[in-house]
Amino acid sequence: MSNEENDDYMASLSQAQTAEDEVDGGGGGREAAGSNESVLGGQTMPQISPNAPLEGNVSPPPTQPHLDDNLHNGNGNISNSSNINKHGSNINGNGNGNIGNDSNRSSPAKSPVKRPVSSSFRIQNAQFDNDEEHLAAGEQVAGGDRQVPDYWQQRNGGTGATSGRQSRALSPGYLDNMSENSEQPPVVPLVRSKSRPEISRAAAARYNNLSYWKARRVVFYRNGDPFFPGVELRYRPGRDVTSLDNLLDKISPKMDLPRGARYVFSMDGDRKYHLDELEDGAFYVVSSFKAFKPASYGKKNGMWYASPGNQGWGSKPASRKPSIMEADLGTLSTTSGSIKRSAGRVIRIINNLDHSVQCRVLLNLRTSQPFEEVLEDLGQVLKINGAKKMYTGTGQEVRSFSQLRNEFADVDTFYLATGTALIAGSPIRRSRSRPSVVAAAPILPTDELPKVPLRGARPRSKSRPRILYAPESEILRPNGEYTMLDIMKEEPTKVTIRGLRRTFYPPVHHAPADNSPPDKKLQLQWVHGYRGIDARRNLWVLPSGELLYYVAAVAVLFDRDEDAQRHYTGHTEDIMCMDVHPSRELVASGQKAGRDRKSQAHVRIWSTESLQTLYVFGMGELDSGVTAVAFSQLNGGSYILAVDSGRESILSVWQWQWGHLLGKVATLQEGLSGAAFHPLDDNLIITHGRGHLAFWHRRKDGFFERTDIVKQPSRSHVTSVQFEPDGDVITADSDGFITIYSVDSDGAYFVRTEFEAHNKGIGCLIMLGEGTLLSGGEKDRKIAAWDSLQNYKKIADTKLPEAAGGVRTIYPQRPGRNDGNIYVGTTRNNILEGSLQRRFTQVVFGHGRQLWGLAAHPDDELYATAGHDKHVALWRKNKLIWTIQTGYECVALAFHPFGTLAAGSTEGHLLVINCENGAVMLTLRVCGSPLNCVAYNQVGDMIAMGSQNGSIYLFRVSRDGFSYKKVNKIRGSQPLTHLDWSMDGNFVQTVTIDFDLLFWDAKSLSPERSPIAMKDVKWLTNNCTVGFLVAGQWSNRYYSTTNTIVATCSRSAAHDMLASGDAEGYLRLFRYPCISPRAEFHESKVYSGMLACVRFLCGDHTLITVGGTDASLMVWDIVEE
């Protein structure tokens, strides 16, 4: 039968059924199946109903193959059998895509088995062709009396390909490694739940219904957090949001989940797979993992949702109290020509000392701002510094808003003064008729303003503190020089930091804010340091002679001959491992996982010549990071392996040119640190780590066979693996032993030789071409050479200097030559070059521990760094001038105007260093707490130090910067992190660990309590991360993550740029001032940890950043856009 005949036949059946239902009164007593069946061409055709229940258990036999996504044609029929594949994403062969306890087995990535599949199933004894979208999603379908598995249960726990969700399964062997529990239970046959909508012909009917396309409002809660206020999203299906993945990408930045929004559940824990399932006005829970956590969601907003079983979740949120703007719009009605007294009053204010300075203002009487602060704001309008008193024309003092509403409700004119004083000039009597009477210059008529009724009370709301002013044309300014009052136009800025709102007041005059991105951008110019503190096997020499290594999220290619660097910056988080292709022209590098969906763990393969990315794999499949990556050797690098750093340490093998996953297996090994292909067998893989050494043989069917060489339990850590020319395996461990394994005639491995090579741990092994084995000790700092042809007889050894640290990596300077020259990467983040016959010299210097201190020279392109490694270094862009070991962990640095360097330590000492030669000229004991911030004033005669104990310490400084005398200290209570001097040297502003902005009077040695009085102070630098002119770097609407914590900032010398670094490792360049949360910026991310400090160099052409977990130091050029 053709499709047209089939449709006509179905329509006739539908009409017949409708007629019968009408006769039977709605179809009572009639069975849906049986009466409407007709046999056509040997096949049973039913009357299809979207509500027809499935009969019995809905589960296929386990021997049937999965269906690929392309099994169905446009008519809902199953296409030819050539599209039927068996997708084996099973691990250990348990059939569910789960990782079983037998880790010696792993399912193949593909199977050539194909079997005929029937395209029909039964619904109440009736068969029909399946055209539902979900039956194409890798499920099993059978003919005759066989049944189809439940779609939702199969998606929740099954395997195979997915329909319309290719981002969830990038390969046939896909395994969801991002779940909290990757072991899924077997698929249990279930009857369809009525609460789960079917994506079938009923869905097609909804698509044809215009109401389906109406905008929807949905609220999402964070999984397991009953106090999360919820994120509301309004969208139009098919237009604003096209798929569930697209919706998850939109809400991920707002949810602050550990790995982004990946799963959606209803309030009873029912997982949602399609956008169609989200209903208008409903509430859902979003998670990074598959496990749903029942909780009383919506508690913070007064919307209580209980865990499954409780009734009546859906109490609507309490009505929101109108904001000040809504209240004012409803109360201060200008169209009616009246302003209610409770909302605001139009009054005239006059300068008590100069009656020619006066103006009309619209005063908000419902503000939560203190009355005293309002007086100070009004004083700024009248050019009175520190206005504290308000009087009527008869000399009565006004002390509160209540008096303005009640006692002085009919008084229009008030005088402002700095203290108790009589009104200058003749007094003005109290007026009830509101004439415009002022014994001064003429004033504007009051007819232009709406009349004010005498009464009308409303409860005082917690509104944002502000003053509502009359239009600028109604403000009288007789003196022509007083042309503009910016305070009248700008309101205080409020920023929410860690759940607390902070208010910053605008200065009277400042440069206009521009929210567009800067005309200049950042370009990485140099990277100092080397990651040796926690990484092995991370140093190579390329055919071009360039050194290859990685720091933070940057791969560095350093040409010593040209004294130049190139950088691969494709990664978004720190690089964890790297390997070079046998051709030495390609590199594979794996990164750790970040917080958002766009920073997932993955492996990138890129070219060393063009620095272009050639292939990316593992996105969405690798868990928290990539422990190891390696190319195969025998077939020229066609295969690549990757080891996941998650709980199960998944080992996967890929044919990367084609993107094929050849197989994967769970090693179930904690502390796995490395893996490699055997050079003589591409199907043999060796993994090693803490108490672990195992051989994995990949069979042709994709399964892995495991052989454990080190028997459990074992305390030794196998740190490195190398191979002899005949294929024997050489290992080094944390006890200082080197072991050689051979294979017998039966294929079993045995220990051929074992000897102690170093005192304690061995960092690396490398086999040179002539059969010489080099080993490096992490603890004894020795490098030893062993002759493998003479049963590993020691040839020679040498010892690195103590300042360099232990050995992490060894690589020959000229691979293929036997000249004995090598590069050595050390545990203190240095790279050395030399040989066993001559001394080693430093090629790359890096701080050995976390780096915090950074200061830029005021008149030269010099900068200094200091960290927890007790070293202080002076640099000129990409050159190290000198480095000294101070004996103290220094975390704060500052340059004197004449070039002296001051360093504050974690023990409370101040070190004064001569920049000419690095000599420590003076050491002062300031206090017993860390000195977190240090700064000189503009002339250099005073230094301020902010301490962890919350106090400011002030010292008098000599002209040359070498002599210091304590002045006093200003006591505080909260630890201080950043510090700025005022231009005149009278004040200091600091930021506390809780991001409070505090002000200090350096003359009176007292804290300044009023932030309003300090808003017009000009600051020498702007290193404090909070304030009105830098508020736009907080809660910026363009950030990819929420709850961003700004760790450091710096203003350019020209006051036109602001550099900002946050706790997630983002570096951003704004225009200055940066006031609005809509301020745009240029952004780079090269750190996974905190960006500790950022500074502009002299001339504003260069930017310096320090931070990360590996003490990286980076130099950025500021270039034209």
Same domain, 439 and 372: yes
| Residue 383: exposure state from Cβ atoms within 10 A (0-12, 13-18, ≥19) | middle
Asked whether residue 61 falls in the same domain as residue 21, the answer is no
In a domain, 50, yes or no: yes
**Of the residues 155, 175, 195, which one is the last residue of a structural domain?**
175
Final residue of a structural domain among 261, 287, 313: 287
Task: Show Cβ contacts of residue 684 under 8 Å, excluding neighbours closer than 6 positions.
Answer: 677, 678, 695, 696, 697, 698
Predicted pLDDT of residue 529: 94
pLDDT tens figures, 53-68 = 444 433 444 434 443 4
- pLDDT reading at 494 higher than 60: yes
The whole domain housing 98 covers 38-175
**Structure tokens given for 7:** 């449709």
**Quick one: pLDDT at residue 1102?**
97
CB-neighbour burial class of residue 236 (10 A; exposed 0-12, middle 13-18, buried 19+): exposed
* Residue 78 DSSP symbol: B
Residue 648, classified by CB atoms within 10 Å of its CB into exposed (0-12), middle (13-18) or buried (19+), is: buried
Residue 297 lies in a domain: no
Same domain, 273 and 356: no
Question: What pLDDT was estimated at residue 486?
Answer: 39
Check pLDDT > 50 for residue 464: no
One-letter amino acid identity for 431?
S
Instruction: Give the pLDDT of residue 343.
Output: 66
pLDDT value of position 616 = 94
**CATH code assigned at 690:** 2.130.10.10
pLDDT of residue 205: 58
The answer on pLDDT for 586 being more than 50 is yes
Give the model's confidence band at 578: pLDDT under 50 very low, under 70 low, under 90 confident, else very high: very high
Q: Kindly report which listed range (19-23, 84-88, 173-177, 476-480) carries the lowest average pLDDT score.
A: 476-480
pLDDT at 475 over 80: no
- Rounded to whole angstroms, the maximal C-alpha distance in the chain is 119
Identify the band that residue 411 occupies on the pLDDT scale cut at 50, 70 and 90: confident
- pLDDT, greater one: 670 or 679: 679
On whether both 528 and 619 belong to a single domain, the answer is no
Residue 270 predicted with pLDDT over 70:
yes
What single-letter DSSP state applies at residue 1019? B
Position 369 in a domain: yes
Would 499 be classed as within a structural domain?
A: no
Angle made by CA atoms 107, 188, 243, in degrees to the nearest 5: 80
Q: Cα–Cα distances in Å, from 399 out to 384, 390, 403, 467?
A: 18, 7, 7, 17
DSSP string spanning 321-373?
A: PP-HHHHHHHHS-TTTTB--TTTEEEEEEEESS-TT-EEEEEEETTB-S-HHH
Mean pLDDT of 677-695: 94
Strands ordered across the beta sheet of 575-580: 575-580, 586-591, 603-607, 613-617
User: Domain end: 813, 833, 853, which one?
Assistant: 833
d(CA 136, CA 152): 13
Helices (H) and strands (E) in the chain, counts: 8, 70
* Residues 574 and 535: beta-carbon distance below 8 Å: no
End-to-end alpha carbon distance in the chain: 66
- Please report which confidence band the pLDDT of residue 5 belongs to, taking 50, 70 and 90 as the band edges: very low
Whether 503 is covered by a domain: the verdict is: no
Q: What is the mean pLDDT of residues 943-958?
A: 96
Alpha carbon distances (Å) from 1059 to 493, 829, 995, 1046, 1094:
20, 27, 18, 11, 7
353: pLDDT strictly greater than 50: yes
Whole-angstrom Cα distance, residue 118 to residue 64? Answer: 10
Instruction: Report the sign of the C-alpha dihedral through residues 1007, 1012, 1017, 1021, in that order.
Output: positive
pLDDT, residue 203, reads 54
pLDDT over threshold 90, residue 370:
no
Can you tell me the distance from the alpha carbon of 18 to that of 323, in angstroms, rounded to the nearest whole number?
56
Is residue 618 located within the same domain as residue 678?
yes
Asked if 783 and 743 sit in the same domain, the reply is yes
Query: What integer pLDDT is reported at residue 28 of this predicted model?
Result: 40
Paired strand residues for 363: 345
In this model, does residue 96 exceed pLDDT 70?
A: no
Are the beta carbons of 933 and 946 closer than 8 angstroms? yes
pLDDT at site 195:
41
How far is the C-alpha of 680 from the C-alpha of 625, rounded, in Å? 29
Provide the CA 1060 distance to its chain's centre, in angstroms: 15
Q: What number is the average pLDDT over the span 661-669?
A: 91
The pLDDT value recorded for residue 197 is 42
Q: Which of 34-48, 220-234, 277-291, 842-856 has the highest mean pLDDT?
A: 842-856
pLDDT exceeds cutoff 70 at 682: yes
- In a shared domain, residues 438 and 456: yes
Q: Is 0.75 surpassed by the pTM of this model?
A: no
- Does residue 293 lie within any of the structural domains? no
- Do 621 and 730 lie in a common domain? yes
**Does the pLDDT of residue 748 top 80, yes or no?**
yes
Confidence of residue 210 (pLDDT cuts 50, 70, 90): low
Same domain, 638 and 778: yes
In angstroms, the CA 861 to CA 1098 distance is 6
Same-domain pairing of 528 and 475 = no
Q: How confident is the model at residue 113 (pLDDT cuts 50, 70, 90)?
A: very low
Cβ-contact 608, 588 below 8 angstroms: no
Q: What is the CATH number of the domain that holds 452?
A: 3.10.20.230
Q: Is the pLDDT of residue 1037 over 70?
A: yes
Written as six digits, the tokens of 120 are: 């029909």
885 within some domain:
no
Res. 165: pLDDT tops 50: no
C-alpha gyration radius of the chain: 37
pLDDT at 207 (0 to 100): 56
**Among all chains, which residue has been given the structure tokens 């042309």?**
483
504-553 confidence digits (pLDDT tens): 999 988 888 899 999 999 999 999 999 999 899 999 999 999 999 999 99
Contact 586/637 with Cβ under 8 angstroms?
yes
* Same structural domain, 140 and 246: no
Higher pLDDT, 119 or 711: 711
Q: Region 318-335: what's the mean pLDDT?
A: 35
Report CA 135 to chain centroid distance, whole Å: 37
Contacts of 464 (CB under 8 A, 6+ apart): 323, 324, 367, 368, 491, 492, 494
pLDDT above 90 as % of the chain: 47
Q: Residue 947 above 80 pLDDT? A: yes
The pLDDT, as a whole number, for residue 211 is: 64
Same domain, 1036 and 1117: yes
Within a domain: 300:
no
Q: What's the pLDDT at 996?
A: 93
* Mean pLDDT, rounded, for 892-899: 94
Element spanning 676, H or E: strand 672-678
Residue 420: the pLDDT is: 59
- For the ranges 256-260, 843-847, 988-992, 1106-1110, the lowest mean pLDDT is seen at 256-260
Distance CA 827, CA 1110 (A): 11
Percent of the chain scored above 70 by pLDDT? Answer: 71
Per the structure, how many domains does the chain have?
6
- Tell me the pLDDT of the chain averaged across its residues: 77
